[in-house]
Amino acid sequence: MKVCVVGSGGREHALAHVLSRTAEVVVAPGNPGMAAPIEITDEPLEEVEADLYVIGPEAPLVNGLADRLRQQGRAVMGPGADGALLEGSKAHMKEILSTAGVPTAHFATFDSLQTEEALAFLDTLSGPWVIKTDGLAAGKGVLVAHTMEQARADVVAKLSGSSFGDAGRHIVVEEGLEGEECSLLVLCDGTTAVPLLPAQDFKRVRDGDEGPNTGGMGAYAPMPEVGPELVGKIMDTAVTPLITEMCRRGIDYRGVLYAGLMLGPDGPKVIEYNVRFGDPEAQVVLPLLSCDAAELFLAVANGTLDEMPAPTFSGDAAVCVVLASAGYPDNLRTGDPITGLHLNGQSTAPVEGVTVFHAGTRRTSVKGPFRTAGGRVLGVTAVAPTLEEARANAYAGAAPIEWDGMQLRRDIAAAAARAVTENVG
Ligand code: AMP
Ligand code: GLY
């Protein structure tokens, strides 16, 4: 089988890596860290012949790329624009979740003519207060405010257009939820849905969840405290009702449904839905698959998941540590030369089970040095029998890699690995 992965980030590198175990893989446009047997191409997508197209990022999905490819008779993993609106508009997502009866934070939506109403709504919530831009903002349009003053200032800044331009002129204001966050990636073929392993992402830029939100600074999977029973409950309360509601609206959703959840005292609640694999969740969930990923994804595209055995996993744990550019996420600087990588893009400190996924790198010649070219630059993923070993190996693989101003969190999966060790001991 030949699979075309669409995108150029760390998630797409992980997709290509795992698909290349059993299939021929071409990535459009890909990135310079993707080495043989993965092929990269800068040809227009219409000219790339493949048996299956897997679309990585949200923007092309929201813009209808899956629809266009399907109209040409191609097999596509990724929802059409109607399904992708779930991520394209948070207001739409909240509306569909409410209609479907999916538990989610209490909320209201406002536009730029409703600043007074939005400020009044803040008064009805007890805090923390969460203010989100309605449209896509690469994970950065969300503020969790712990003081009313900060919440009010953010509402005014967003609605006036001063902080996010027009993208901020529609907002969702909601109650802050407390608990552990969990990302559950679910494969859906239109009617049948199967969960992959639960993962945890680290959204804030600095250790101890300090600093602004980012696209994700690291992840691990599986989450030891989210066992099959809890995954079943999440499917029953948060996923199946949503798919039923989408079917009722005539939406044939074939792709990944990514449920961002808060596991709180009243049970799991949905923070958000995304319409694609999480990044960096993909970098930890996909390498743990022990079945044929290409066959599995083709079944998603063809609507035949019910004819497939359930996905299987190796039983290992995975940890991904993201290395980010100087100044990320607010004032990022790119173009810094990276040391500690071989010509093939992998770490100069080889550790068994460790892969360096490239996200934002470029090079000026085939054998030239890699340079930073985005906010999140590299993701170092380790797969090992335990979370503790995976964590140690990911940091060992990352150790020689450096550039001026490089940022990484030192506490990825630390608490979870400690909890597992204490429970065993
Ligand atoms: P979103 O883009 O909606 O996923 O939000 C990004 C991040 O903001 C989430 O992963 C959470 O860490 C945080 N967040 C969003 N909504 C809430 C909420 N209602 N309560 C607490 N934290 C939230
Ligand atoms: N890691 C969060 C996301 O992909 O949205």
- Average pLDDT of 395-410? 98
pLDDT tens sequence across 37-74: 999 999 999 899 999 999 999 999 999 999 999 999 99
| Nearest CA owner, ligand 2 atom 4 | 278
Whether residue 39 has its Cβ less than 6 Å from ligand 2: no
Answer whether 279 contacts ligand 2 (Cβ < 6 A).
yes
Fold of 2-80: Rossmann fold (3.40.50)
CATH class for the region spanning 180-307 = alpha beta
Query: In this model, does residue 140 exceed pLDDT 70?
Result: no
pLDDT of residue 421: 82
Which residue's C-alpha comes closest to atom 5 of ligand 2?
278
pLDDT tens column, 241-263: 999 999 999 999 999 999 999 99
Longest dimension (CA), the chain: 59
- Among the CATH numbers 3.90.600.10, 3.30.479.10, 1.10.357.10, 2.30.40.10, which is that of 317-424? 3.90.600.10
- Do domains 2-80 and 317-424 share one topology? The answer is no
The confidence score (pLDDT) of residue 127 equals 86
Residue nearest to atom 5 of ligand 1 (CA): 142
Band the pLDDT of 425: cuts 50, 70, 90: low
> Which ligand sits closest to the CA of 141?
1
Q: Where are the domains of the chain?
A: 2-80, 106-175, 180-307, 317-424
Q: Decide if pLDDT at 179 tops 70.
A: yes
Confidence band for 138, pLDDT divided at 50, 70 and 90 = low
Ligand 2 in contact with 83 (CB < 6 A)? Answer: no
The tens digit of pLDDT for each residue in 65-113 reads 999 999 999 999 999 999 999 998 888 999 999 999 999 999 999 998 8
pLDDT band at 28 (very low <50, low <70, confident <90, very high): very high
Q: Output the CA 215–ligand 2 centroid distance in Å.
A: 6
**Which pLDDT value is given to residue 139?**
59
Percent of the chain with pLDDT over 70: 99
Taking Cα atoms as reference points, which of 308, 342, 375, 339 lies closest to residue 139? 375
CATH of segment(s) 106-175: 3.30.1490.20
Mean pLDDT of the chain: 95
pTM value is: 0.95
CB of 258 closer than 8 Å to CB of 277 = yes
